[in-house]
Structure 1
Amino acid sequence: MLTFADRLNLLFRAFLRPPDERGERKEWSNLQVARAAETVHGRSVITREHLRMLRNGERPRPSVETAAAIARAFEFLSQSEPEPGRASAIVAYLAIDPTEASPDEVAQVESIHQQLARAVDMRENKLLGLMARLGDLEDPESLDEIRELVTRLEDKERSRRGGFLRRHRR
């Protein structure tokens, strides 16, 4: 059975921060998620310490209101908030307690969990698959072309990130 900590930690892995100057995407901190929940709800809903305890399993699960606030914080941070009044799969994912839920609700939570886990796995493993394919190339001309392509892509991404960073620093 999926614990609240399992589900919450998967959200932290699934909803990463935008790329930094080096193009790396990292998890949001407990403090950032707590502040986002406060922004969305207009008041303090959860502290970073409470999030830490939920993530470590020191607290089994929060109230439905707090679980929904955490989910909405991730939607806010990822800029994927649903329209007001519209149901959110992420809210359901955190708010439904599988130990007290109907079989249909448990199936819904498990389905969302599998989709998120697959997305995280694809993001984390796609680079490994590409690297394995590149490892088969031996021709010096092919390797030079790969270096040139990577350099062009790095320049292109750096340029885009620069625009992203300028827009979000205002």
Structure 2
Amino acid sequence: MAAEKNEPVLAERLDSLFRSSRPEGRPWTNDEVAARLKEANPKLRVSGAYLSALRNGKRERPSRELLMALAQFFGVQPAYFFDQGYADQALTQLALLDELHQAGVRSIALRAAGLPPESLNAVMSVLDEIRKLQGLPPVEE
């Protein structure tokens, strides 16, 4: 019984990674991930259909090698698939990264990189003024 209880957990956690890791603002497809995994390790036997079956719980018990490759691809530790506390923490971090990406924060940070402190202060002042005009609360550091 314990194995049956864990199998849907793997499907849910893998599906959560696919839904929360968003290149260019959209979720990965099964075929894209399978292709990237095979690029990284040509000996790895994986297809989009197999990943789909793992995500919906129709297939169970992927190889250790595939779990390691999936963990590395999505930037989590392999423990993500087995440890609820780690999985919750990883998904929270992925959601935050997605929010930052969606908000264009990365784009702003890239433009600000390398600017002298006085220029950064000017940029922050402009952003503070825009927040005020939009009715948003001031940022507390």
Whether TM-score is above 0.5 comes out as yes
Q: What residue is the counterpart of 1:116 in the other structure?
A: 90
Q: Deviations over 1:14-73 (max 9, x none)?
A: 3211x3xxxxx1111101110111111133431000000000100123121121122223
Alignment partner of 1:15 out of 21, 35, 45? 21
Q: What residue is the counterpart of 1:58 in the other structure?
A: 58
Find out whether 1:93 has 2:42 as its counterpart.
no
State how far apart, in whole Å, the 2-side matches of 1:52 and 1:31 are: 9
TM-score (norm: length of structure 2): 0.57
State how far apart, in whole Å, the 2-side matches of 1:47 and 1:60 are: 15
State how far apart, in whole Å, the 2-side matches of 1:74 and 1:121 are: 13
What SS does structure 1 have at the residue aligned with 2:26? Answer: coil
What SS does structure 1 have at the residue aligned with 2:15? Answer: helix
1:1-170 equivalences in 2 (<5 Å): 3-17=9-23, 19=24, 25-75=25-75, 89-94=76-81, 96=82, 109-120=83-94, 122=96, 145-146=133-134
Give the partner amino acid of 2:133. Answer: E
Q: What residue is the counterpart of 2:137 in the other structure?
A: none
2:80–2:90 CA contact under 8 A, matched in 1: no
Q: Deviations over 1:83-102 (max 9, x none)?
A: xxxxxx522323x4xxxxxx
Output the aligned Cα RMSD: 3.1
State how far apart, in whole Å, the 1-side matches of 2:131 and 2:22 are: 32
State how far apart, in whole Å, the 2-side matches of 1:117 and 1:144 are: 31
Percent identity (aligned) = 26
TM-score (norm: length of structure 1): 0.48
State how far apart, in whole Å, the 2-side matches of 1:118 and 1:4 are: 17
2:22–2:98 CA contact under 8 A, matched in 1: no
Q: From the superposition, tell whether residues 6 and 143 of structure 1 become closer, same or farther in structure 2 (CA, over 3 Å).
A: closer
State how far apart, in whole Å, the 2-side matches of 1:62 and 1:117 are: 21
Gaps of 5+ in 1: 20-24, 76-88, 97-108, 128-141, 147-170
Gaps of 5+ in 2: 103-129, 135-141
Q: What residue is the counterpart of 1:101 in the other structure?
A: none
Alignment coverage as a number of residue pairs: 101
What SS does structure 1 have at the residue aligned with 2:43? Answer: coil
